[in-house]
Amino acid sequence: MRTSVVPPYCCYLRVYEPLPAFPARERTSWEAEVCVPEHPKTGFLAVVEQRESLAALLPAMPPGAVSAARRAYSMEVEGNLLLCPDESALRVRQALGDLMTSLPEHVLQVLLPAGGLDRVDFGALQDEACPPDAEPHILTARWHVPLAWFVIFSDEDRSIGMDPVELRYRTPMVEARRRLGRAHRLLSRQRPEWELEPLRTLGRWIESFHPHGWVELDYGGLVHLMDPDTLAADRSASDVTAALHAVAQGDDEEAITIYHRLRKRWWELRVKERAS
């Protein structure tokens, strides 16, 4: 399914879980929704989500005019269906909470229209299927891919397409946990002074899901910031693997060289956020 709408410049880390991981009352409805002819592809669902989010920001929209449908991304592995619910209410609730705690009040007043937060119906963002301590199946990053995310993938997990343009990595949950645990143990032993909290945070997140799930890194709209040659040449997961191998061999100079090269590559994309 094609669309002229360009997704936002975000990437997504998604966890897909097998049906038994969901409450029994949800399984039948999920199967009915995703097992239909010409089920929308992942890229199209991301655009639909973007449209709803943008519409919800319009102050002229009457209350209740925009209601996000319940959706799930899907993938099939060896004949088994795996689902990744989009959980819009949970993600919006967490994003608003992060926004309100991370920015000072005078900045919030500039970013949001007068009384904007006062008009938010937080009750509508509550979902009995998503308790306050629930972890979303989708993490989002803007204008870059966090380097910690690449730790859980290998270059063999990478796939690239040109019609439509996309780049994604997919790996079984067991491999994601193994790679992340191995990297954390290595760095804790060899370089405990380095910042390891991103790995710990990521580890806590993936541990909250079914062990037979899969993890997907989708470059999403970031592919529109790269020309075809740059996209084809990007091997960030392989570079992270090489950096960890260098640490294991005691070659800190090589590891730091690779790290700075990665930081420079992604910083060149992030600076476009500030371009007018």
**Average pLDDT rounded to a whole number, residues 193-198:** 93
- For residues 259 and 254, what is the distance between their CA atoms, to the nearest angstrom? 9
Residues 6+ apart with CB under 8 A from 24: none
Phi then psi for residue 166, to 5 deg, are -160, 155
Give the number of other Cβ atoms within 10 Å of residue 264's Cβ: 9
User: Mean pLDDT across the stretch 90-98?
Assistant: 61
Contact 215, 13 (CB under 8 A): yes
**For the CA atoms of the chain, what is the radius of gyration?**
20
C-beta of residue 117 within 8 angstroms of C-beta of residue 108:
yes
pLDDT level of residue 270 (50, 70, 90 thresholds) = confident
Number of alpha carbons in the 13 Å side-chain half-sphere of residue 23 = 5
Query: Are 104 and 62 within 8 A, CB to CB?
Result: no
Asked if the model's pLDDT at residue 138 lies above 90, the reply is yes
Inter-axis angle of helices 173-190 and 197-206, to 10 degrees? 150
Hunting for tokens 């909250």 — which residue is that?
Answer: 208
Asked if 162 and 253 count as a contact pair (C-beta separation under 8 A), the reply is no
Q: Is 80 exceeded by the pLDDT of residue 183?
A: yes
Question: What pLDDT does residue 132 have?
Answer: 57
Residues 37, 232: contact at Cβ < 8 Å? no
pLDDT digit string (tens) for 98-134?
555 655 666 666 555 555 555 555 554 455 545 556 7
In this predicted structure, what is the pLDDT of residue 47?
Answer: 54
The span from the CA of 14 to the CA of 215, in Å, is 6
Q: How confident is the model at residue 23 (pLDDT cuts 50, 70, 90)?
A: confident
Tell me phi and psi for residue 126, to 5 degrees.
-85, 140
What CA–CA distance (Å, rounded) separates 160 from 223? 10
Task: Report phi then psi at 194, rounded to 5.
Answer: -75, 160
Q: In the prediction, which pLDDT does 48 show?
A: 53
Least confident of 128-137, 140-149, 218-227: 128-137
Kindly list the distances between the CA atom of residue 151 and the CA atoms of 113, 117, 147, in Å, as whole numbers in the listed order.
39, 37, 7
pTM over 0.75: yes
**pLDDT of 221-269, one tens digit each?**
999 999 999 999 999 999 999 999 999 999 999 999 999 999 999 988 8
d(CA 100, CA 155): 38
> Residue 135: what are its φ and ψ, rounded to 5°?
-100, 130
pLDDT of residue 71: 79
